Structure 1
């Protein structure tokens, strides 16, 4: 019935697939155009197989894309039971694209990133394989102890903007899509040391695959990286067979990863496109109107809310087109009284975005850092007193060196000769805001992404929070080799002469090795200390900070205490992985293609 209804709905489009229509194209030329149906979004269980690979060996090379003609031929040759068991075909279902010339459902099916990859391959396969391996390798008591420690490690993960924390680990009763997406960002470090490195290497290329296909724009190099990640995943996942977790691996949801590159070439970057987009519409259409209702005879109230919201949206678009949404209400009223109605802005003739249907957000910086709007009260303004207050006796010397380097970059005079009284009073801030251009994130207008970096000694009155950041040390060098990781201890600013200096006091961390860790695929760092045992500190100008960094502790083989609090992690652990998975921008920022 579903396919029959869709075929009836699209029936009026058939003439456009057979008779050419003369259309003015964006380049100004007139061409004959034949229309076709675009990508089709469906949940994993409702999707038909895209290729003719055998069910017991789905990833064998040589499989071809299915076609309506071949399916019709098989239906005439075999009984329904054989069709389903050997070919995955239901003889009683006729796809709605069957009678459309320019529509092949086997090509039109878009990837279901949520159900096939996130909840399917990661949650139902990889996570379950790890748990099953622990139960089969260890005794029941020992396996449960290790699983509990994995939960403790997950709960010890540091806070990061936009990253969900799991205070009780991953042992929750019902997984949502957001649960799976958040857990996959911190899972590698939690299982490292408890499972073979080959099992960690299996999950690593899978996560790289997820982040690569999720990018907003994919180049040929990116697609090649997708193929390499998929090949490594197929090679490494055999560890599940070697350890006895699986007898064979022929799983439809994992096989769907093979079809991502052809779909991307046909229809462009999916950028997270999946059936969850259409499923989420019920939040606006049902859940939010229900919350606004009295819960008694709610249907009429919900329909009234939806009707009014539609009218408000229509009115807003009309006001915007007439320039009435610019400025304040009082300004618009005054201009109306004077006969000076605001006119909608007209695009320039040479505007590059005029023909592509985009709302140009205007010039924007690709990255910027700025301190919080208001300085924090209760901190000394004098540098020496502030140093005693924050218990950092090196602070005055570091400020002197910083100021000297700013004023005399090529001088041979030691920075210690700059008198402290030349430094004015200092303002202290508890946070700074980083703005970066991150089109792969589903974020604000124009692809700008905003995160808050904190250096707060009493975050929410519970614990100190001193976030870690990327500091650009060699701008021309891309990725981690051109940056350092530091922990923010203080944000402050002062004015000297005619210049205002927003700065940060940092605790430096050093890289261990010249390449990422082989099993984890992440750079390893450690806090840096002087020979005297004091922390290696430095003062930098705020614009040298690129954005916040997320660190995962190197847990090793030791078990965490059950009552371990995540706020202790940066102080107690001596080694950290630089997590490239907290968001899509960080993955692209560190590794590019």
Structure 2
């Protein structure tokens, strides 16, 4: 039965997987009588047992069993059962638990009511309206870099930013002289001297949001993050693969919703320039504080979503066999992007989450990963 449940939650279902599910279910039904013979159970008339007979049919009709777990109810069990039981004297606990939960809910509601009345009386704001599907979010960076003094050679080898110096040179030339064509920028960048060989890097970009309807509206929570950290070894000397997430990047005045003006890129490195170089390269202007090295995928402008699934299919954007890359200000990054690899008839067993972006020739941009991409990517 455990093998059956594992296969049911498998991320990709092929005919081979479904056949293995049927074999595991058949084996379970042939042997479950032993639990009744031993007196462990009287029967198997419960919903989960019956529902297992319909897994294959439902998978073939509606697809994979995403989020098919009991984590939500397990979490509620802590709030509504365990904490409530701890508030009792362990004798005749049921009425004490229900009374404790009822009073706790009333106190929370009354606290929210008082806070809203105070806010209305002080700011004279209109009554709250129906909250939006997704609250606004803003980018949040750490105050200090995670690693200081990372050499260009380390960035190219450990972080995989193979064209770091060239991309940085092109960014500087284009920022100083935006009227130049791409060819002119390439020629000018080839002769640009970089008066340093190390930068300080960050390994994470965070997006935070505030819930105005919570008890503490000023509190922020991290709702999205983009990681760009190289491989490392843990304290047991086990190798932890590097993680370089992908993101939606605003490259041509993209709007709040839709993919027009956006492109997907893999974030290889987030860094800051030395302060002395910033003043030299950007005199009289406010230079971007944080920069990112990005490897590009196919732009959305040349694509259409699939008719059956509504997802955009993209691939690496290459020139002479090398993936195109650029250095950009991180304020152009809108959100992280989740991919579904285009597996084909069978998912290759050697594909791992840490290598799939390197080996997969095509990927689907998943707009169903959470509420924000669902409401902004289409």
TM-score tier (shorter)? 0.5 to 0.7
Q: Counterparts of 1:288 and 1:460 in 2: how far apart (Å)?
A: 39
Identify the match of residue 334 of structure 2 among 519, 541, 546.
546
Cα offsets for 1:242-287 (capped at 9, x unmatched): xxxxxxxxxxxxxxxxxxxxxxxxxxxxxxxxxx99xx98864434
Instruction: Confirm or deny that 1:524 pairs with 2:302.
Output: no
Distance 1:368 1:291, change over 3 A: same
Assess if the C-alpha contact under 8 Å between 1:490 and 1:504 holds in 2: yes
1:6-45 to structure 2, matched below 5 A, reads none
**What TM-score, normalized by structure 2, do the two folds share?**
0.62
1:487-566 to structure 2, matched below 5 A, reads 487-494=266-273, 495=275, 496-497=278-279, 499-511=287-299, 514-531=303-320, 533-561=321-349, 565-566=352-353
Structure 2 residues not aligned, in runs of 5+? 1-8, 24-46, 50-58, 67-71, 235-239, 280-285
1:218-297 to structure 2, matched below 5 A, reads 284-290=79-85
Assess if the C-alpha contact under 8 Å between 2:262 and 2:299 holds in 1: no
Identify the match of residue 585 of structure 1 among 362, 372, 375.
372
Cα offsets for 1:440-499 (capped at 9, x unmatched): xx9x95999721111122489433221111011222565224211111111112241153
Assess if the C-alpha contact under 8 Å between 1:509 and 1:528 holds in 2: yes
Cα offsets for 1:15-50 (capped at 9, x unmatched): xxxxxxxxxxxxxxxxxxxxxxxxxxxxxxxxxxxx
Q: Counterparts of 1:322 and 1:510 in 2: how far apart (Å)?
A: 51
Distance 1:475 1:383, change over 3 A: same
Q: Counterparts of 2:248 and 2:164 in 1: how far apart (Å)?
A: 21
Q: Counterparts of 1:380 and 1:518 in 2: how far apart (Å)?
A: 49
Q: Counterparts of 2:254 and 2:103 in 1: how far apart (Å)?
A: 53
Identify the match of residue 360 of structure 2 among 538, 559, 573.
573
Distance 1:436 1:482, change over 3 A: farther
Alignment-derived partner of residue 405 in structure 1: 174
Assess if the C-alpha contact under 8 Å between 1:367 and 1:546 holds in 2: no
Cα offsets for 1:355-395 (capped at 9, x unmatched): x24699xxxx9553232344213x53454564455354421
Structure 1 residues not aligned, in runs of 5+? 1-126, 149-172, 176-190, 208-275, 324-343
Instruction: Confirm or deny that 1:434 pairs with 2:176.
Output: no
1:48-447 to structure 2, matched below 5 A, reads 143-145=18-20, 284-290=79-85, 298-299=93-94, 302=97, 306=101, 309=104, 313=108, 346-348=121-123, 353-354=125-126, 356-357=127-128, 366-377=136-147, 380-383=149-152, 386-387=155-156, 389-390=158-159, 392-411=161-180, 414-421=188-195, 426-435=199-208
Alignment-derived partner of residue 237 in structure 1: none
Q: Counterparts of 1:518 and 1:565 in 2: how far apart (Å)?
A: 28
Alignment-derived partner of residue 10 in structure 1: none
Structure of greater Rg: 1
Q: Counterparts of 2:227 and 2:261 in 1: how far apart (Å)?
A: 23
Instruction: Confirm or deny that 1:472 pairs with 2:250.
Output: yes
Assess if the C-alpha contact under 8 Å between 1:397 and 1:416 holds in 2: yes
Assess if the C-alpha contact under 8 Å between 1:525 and 1:577 holds in 2: yes
Distance 1:404 1:501, change over 3 A: farther
Secondary structure in 1 matching 2:294? strand
Identify the match of residue 455 of structure 1 among 213, 228, 231.
228
Q: Counterparts of 1:545 and 1:284 in 2: how far apart (Å)?
A: 37
**What TM-score, normalized by structure 1, do the two folds share?**
0.42
Secondary structure in 1 matching 2:315? strand
1:437 to partner: Cα distance: 9.1
Assess if the C-alpha contact under 8 Å between 1:511 and 1:526 holds in 2: no
Assess if the C-alpha contact under 8 Å between 1:428 and 1:493 holds in 2: yes
Q: From the two aligned structures, give the one with the greater strand fraction.
A: 2
Secondary structure in 2 matching 1:380? strand
1:583 to partner: Cα distance: 1.4
Cα offsets for 1:294-333 (capped at 9, x unmatched): 866644764685488469748966995898xxxxxxxxxx
Alignment-derived partner of residue 37 in structure 2: none
Secondary structure in 2 matching 1:546? strand
Alignment-derived partner of residue 93 in structure 1: none
Aligned length, in residue pairs: 305
